[in-house]
Amino acid sequence: MTAARLPAAPLLAALLALALWEGLVRWARVPAVLLPSPGSVATSLWEAAPLLARHALATGGAATGAFLIALAAGVALASLMVLSPLATRLLYPNLLLFQLLPKVALGPLFVVWLGLGLPSLMAFAVFVSLFPVAIAMLTGLRAADPLQIRLCQAQGGSGWQIFRYIRLPTALPFLFAGAKVAATMAFTGAVVGEFISADAGLGWMVMQAVGRSDTPLIFAALAVLCVLGAALYALVVLAEDAARRRWGTRR
């Protein structure tokens, strides 16, 4: 096993980066308002732990809910497009169009349409994270072996049977690849939504800290966001491993 594959290697790299960061800040005497040291960030984490935990629940709940909605909607859209050529012609160009739009610039529109608060925040997070799931699932469904499909048709298999037993198992690795991207995008969408229309959450907390020039608290909130995003990503990986054992799919 190479050093890069050792479980401790990423942790050692992170600790080395933190040590270099701490040493650079102390040596250059960088003001904390510009770049706080890891020690001051850790102190802020400890002191604001109850507040961070409360806002982390708001952000984590919104992002997870948006991710699950995007996952279900993406699978449904991809399945519809692969089963219906008409749906592909109607939906696929529009999916690409919405993907090309600058999503952050569209955030205020969700406030106009849905008002301030959780509905507009979650709708924006779903909008941001839907495309990776839909495109990955559609690609996977289309990657099914044509020979297997023709064999199933020759034996009288229905469209649903082809979808269930040939297309869907083939699409699962693609789906999980898209879900991993969507898991991170859901948190991005949730935080941007909190910047615009929320009165709670880690994104809202960051904006409040910016107003007070409390840079250590900003970094503390960002650290909690990293933990939340990593946790959701890890759940997707666990689900992928379970699906791989159940259906024999490959990474």
Q: One digit per residue, pLDDT tens: the chain, 251 residues?
A: 444 455 677 788 888 988 999 899 889 888 888 889 999 999 999 999 999 999 999 999 999 999 999 999 999 999 999 988 888 888 888 888 887 877 777 888 888 888 788 888 899 999 999 999 999 999 999 998 888 888 887 887 777 788 888 888 899 999 999 999 999 999 999 999 888 877 889 999 999 999 898 999 999 999 999 999 999 999 999 999 988 887 765 44
Phi, psi at residue 7, to the nearest 5°?
Answer: -60, -30
Please measure the distance between the N-terminal and C-terminal CA atoms of the chain and give it in whole angstroms.
Answer: 20
Q: What is the CATH number of the domain that holds 126?
A: 1.10.3720.10
Residue 11 domain-assigned (yes or no): no
Residue 226 domain-assigned (yes or no): yes
**pTM over the 0.85 mark:** yes
Q: Which domain holds residue 67?
A: 38-247
- Measured distance CA(143)–CA(168) in Å, rounded: 10
How many domains would you assign to the chain?
Answer: 1
Residue 180 domain-assigned (yes or no): yes
The pLDDT value recorded for residue 7 is 61
Residue 18 domain-assigned (yes or no): no
